[in-house]
């Protein structure tokens, strides 16, 4: 695997998906006197369309898990990311990994839960490091935003990626 950018790329990917989906598929907005709650659902087709338009590298822990991302599938509780990697000899090989998303204590929790890439398994130090760094980066992004964006719900099912976020109203 080649060393590339930082963990922030996956956070950027999730942020862009969230912002894009708000513009396209906002399920509902509830406004109270000091907060707005936004429900967003993204379908598998919408995520795949986004990936086709984007430079679809998902970089975690400074390494690409796959050299090329082809598509995603939504399953109960996780997203399966399909793509292509290369052996040390440069031979292309198909692979995938599964990512779970959930909201916990107003933070988004993302974790790689399964890997099907030749030469890589879930106990690979790169995956362990990636999961640790994802947790740290997501926590840091919440601290840096002063808790302004609270993830109330996050779930994945075959019908879509559902997110509920809460943001304070500007005074």
* Span 7-35, pLDDT tens digits: 444 555 556 555 555 545 455 667 777 88
Identify the band that residue 81 occupies on the pLDDT scale cut at 50, 70 and 90.
Answer: confident
142 in a domain, yes or no?
A: yes
pLDDT the model gives residue 19: 56
2 in a domain, yes or no?
A: no
Give the burial class of 130: count Cβ atoms within 10 A of its Cβ; 0-12 exposed, 13-18 middle, 19 or more buried: buried
Residue of 21 and 167 predicted with greater confidence: 167
Identify the band that residue 5 occupies on the pLDDT scale cut at 50, 70 and 90.
Answer: very low
Whether the pLDDT of residue 52 is over 70: the answer is no
**Distance between CA atoms of residues 142 and 100, nearest Å:** 19
Q: Residue 123: which domain range?
A: 8-168
Q: Largest alpha-carbon pair distance within the chain?
A: 60
Identify the band that residue 114 occupies on the pLDDT scale cut at 50, 70 and 90.
Answer: very high
Identify the band that residue 156 occupies on the pLDDT scale cut at 50, 70 and 90.
Answer: very high
Task: Report the SS3 class of residue 95.
Answer: strand
- Cβ atoms of residues 134 and 3 within 8 Å: no
pTM here?
A: 0.73
3 in a domain, yes or no?
A: no
1 in a domain, yes or no?
A: no
Enumerate helices (H) and strands (E) in the chain, giving the number of each.
3, 10
Which residues pair with residue 49 across a beta bridge? Answer: none
75 in a domain, yes or no?
A: yes
83 in a domain, yes or no?
A: yes
CA torsion 105→22→42→95, rounded to 10°? -80
Residue of 114 and 151 predicted with greater confidence: 114
Task: Report the SS3 class of residue 29.
Answer: strand
Whether the pLDDT of residue 69 is over 90: the answer is no
104 in a domain, yes or no?
A: yes
User: What token pair was written down for 82?
Assistant: 């399909």
Residue of 76 and 66 predicted with greater confidence: 76
51 in a domain, yes or no?
A: yes
For the chain, what is the mean pLDDT? 75
pLDDT the model gives residue 53: 63
- Cβ atoms of residues 38 and 21 within 8 Å: no
Domain count for the chain, please give it. Answer: 1
Whether the pLDDT of residue 167 is over 70: the answer is yes
User: What token pair was written down for 1?
Assistant: 């695997």
């Amino acid at each position: 695997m080649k060393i590339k950018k930082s963990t922030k790329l996956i956070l950027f990917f999730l942020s862009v998906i969230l912002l894009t989906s708000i513009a396209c598929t906002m399920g509902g907005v509830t406004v109270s006197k000091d907060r707005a709650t936004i429900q967003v659902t993204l379908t598998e087709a919408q995520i795949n369309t986004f990936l086709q338009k984007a430079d679809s590298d998902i970089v975690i822990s400074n390494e690409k898990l796959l050299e090329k991302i082809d598509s995603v599938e939504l399953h109960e509780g996780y997203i399966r990311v399909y793509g292509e990697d290369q052996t040390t000899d440069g031979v292309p090989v198909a692979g995938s990994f599964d990512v779970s998303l959930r909201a916990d204590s107003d933070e988004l929790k993302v974790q790689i839960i399964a890997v099907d890439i030749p030469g890589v398994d879930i106990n690979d130090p790169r995956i362990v490091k990636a999961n640790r760094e994802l947790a740290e980066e997501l926590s840091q992004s919440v601290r840096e935003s002063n808790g302004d964006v609270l993830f109330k719900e996050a779930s994945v099912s075959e019908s879509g990626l559902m997110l509920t976020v809460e943001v304070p109203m500007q005074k």
